[in-house]
Chains A and B, each alone.
Chain A
């Protein structure tokens, strides 16, 4: 194997690849990137056995061939090479080392046999559809913060994607929840997605996909889904991931329908006020209290150590006095995702789930569990 490749192209690919590779690996080959030189491309593959990312980039291949070498080391080397340099990768002789050469720098890295490199078989992928990077990115960005980290409820450790059954107007929905808050975002189902199976996309895949989508939101993304795996193609990158094998809870049951106390607040002013008042909130609980009267909202927080804070906002509300507490971080997670000028909170009482949404946009809905304050 011998090839020359531009540093920028190689660096970009390695940056996609290397985050898949865990820094600490008990299985050495999982710390490696697989390099395949053929035709006029270099193909790079990284896997953690649950998630695989493959990227092809143009290269001047003198001699085809393949090997695997430590991903993070190669990434670190390429990162430190000067901008604009040409990188030569060559596998010479039988000493099992790859040579990385650029300008006057030369590195020799150990390799492991390609035959040992695990391949993630995608299996049967029955559903195929295309969606714009911007749309998929929005679905992910507006729900991912609510993904649970608790391993006991492993089926919540990802985003649940499914299509609604309404035949007239099927929607593609993304849902995530950790039991304290729930995020549900939808958009009209792309052609081909109407019959998709419900899938739970694991957190790590969510992170990697979000990163790929974020680079160019105008790209078109090809999505292929099966029962146990999903594949996403964006530009030159193909990401294959296992799905979480579990049943996502019947989340509709926890979305309240009869909350009749509607409070409207200006999104930005509300977020800024919550953020300010939360400075005082007890670090671990981040609780703030909302005291709502006709036309006014008083946000307050007290902490035995730090002191107290209050701030008053003019709001649109006429439903009678209500006090309710929330985790300020959870409120801010939501306000960050709301782009509209007005935010609506729909409450029942101080102990029941509250709905938070953009007052003029029904595509995203958030449910928040109040706290005792």
Chain B
């Protein structure tokens, strides 16, 4: 082998050693592959976001209409409308051909025909869509193809219409770039950035920690190779070759996991936006970067770890006192992170700098794994007294505080990041929540345009027939002006409707005032557009409590001169029981035959709005991510603990044979994990709360302490580590058997 090829020979030897490894090293390989794989999935998802956003924008552009005349093209008549179903918005496009066919359709639907999106088609045919079907009485002739949808969760219906279609627009083509989309709100944006950083960081810590599993076995192996003449550089190349295997396995696993999980993205909606699985695709340069970077990082981490490890031919480390850890650079890192976050928090503009925010978060979270070893060393250094179990545990930790500190640091980073994220989510939910002042009654109103009184009365009658509706009325709007040219809004309704809606006694000719209108008592108001028409208001009004939809006055027909209230616009207030969300759907169905001529506004928050659902999705994702990474951390702790017990099995067996109770040995193992964990939890909770407070400031949200999620997460972290520790006990029992005293 030529000297130039020798390095590759050493790498190949390292790969071969890793493949021939024993059980402990296979566990290391599995954990490394798992951690690396999860990191690869997060990276691939993050790398896919630009493409997914671009594709979503492209799809939005593709369905934009253009009313610019094109020679030779007969325009399509198109009218936009919408409805809502259990908080989900459904776009309705009424079409009348001939004309250009919208993207995703093979032909224009005729009168009585519908083409719906796949999500809407599924809803209409499911049991959950029973109350929606009356709004789509036509025949569904097909589903909209992917080209005509912005996302798989899009709810759209193209409805064939007939008649004059007042208010419709001429459409000559599709694909006109529209106005730029709304930017992601600052709060959501911060959540995304923090989420990615928090997920990637502990994965990195776990991969680095997992690479140290079976470290003693590997050190002995490398020492044996050193003995027969491998120099320091060869040993590092061999060790690097071993680490490549884990990273390559992680790449393959991560890539496969990404492809397997990708279809699930079609079931998620964030801020009303859904993406097709095929749009979740990292760009080729980013894929290449990830494929190259992961093994390089793995090798780099191995070489960096070996920088402080001297593999000598004898493989025996004559240990002196462990090196004193310096505090100043650790505090400098944390201080830098805080300074960066403070700078972003005091940033006057609405959107913080990505670089500054990410750097600040990373440095603050990095403070945990760098501070913990120092803190642990300080604590166990001073703890020289105590029960024998404590002495054993602190003695062991004094000898090697780095490894347990690193492992619980991973748990702590997850805990801190999750606490910060949950603080943000809680604030976001408060910020985006809608409050109602409807009291116990739900309130909404229809706005009808281009319909007759008879049609309006029909809608009101159907609404009253819906179980749970307390009242529905038909009103018309009239504007009144005083001598100072101030406008006042009035609603004209029959006594029957006024009595039903506002619970007042009524005679035709009466006038009522809301809180706004009381000042108008006794005044004369002019009716604009009717020069000589005036109305003199009574000296005393019957007051009407509650919401009148913005009208200052409620008037009976006889209170106004004849013929002043005309036109085809109607308002239909509806009062209903808001506790049952099906009631409002039944109310909406009352106006279904009027199609685009009727719009219903629900003024009561009876279900989560789009952003609330988004935050629920994010919160579920956070808990899932926290559980997964805590599980990984616990598994790593378990393997490390079992390995440490195996390494010390003879001394433990000697202790047990000498009469030391096994329970004491078991307690020392428990304390070995409990002491670092306790420190880690304290640091993590403080860091999480501080980070959460900073991020709330960055997102211009008021600071508020929410201990519920903190308590749950801390409890989960403690449970995970306690479970891992308890699972170590069988290994302790085995190690203390007298047979362990036998020589090899």
A and B physically associate: no
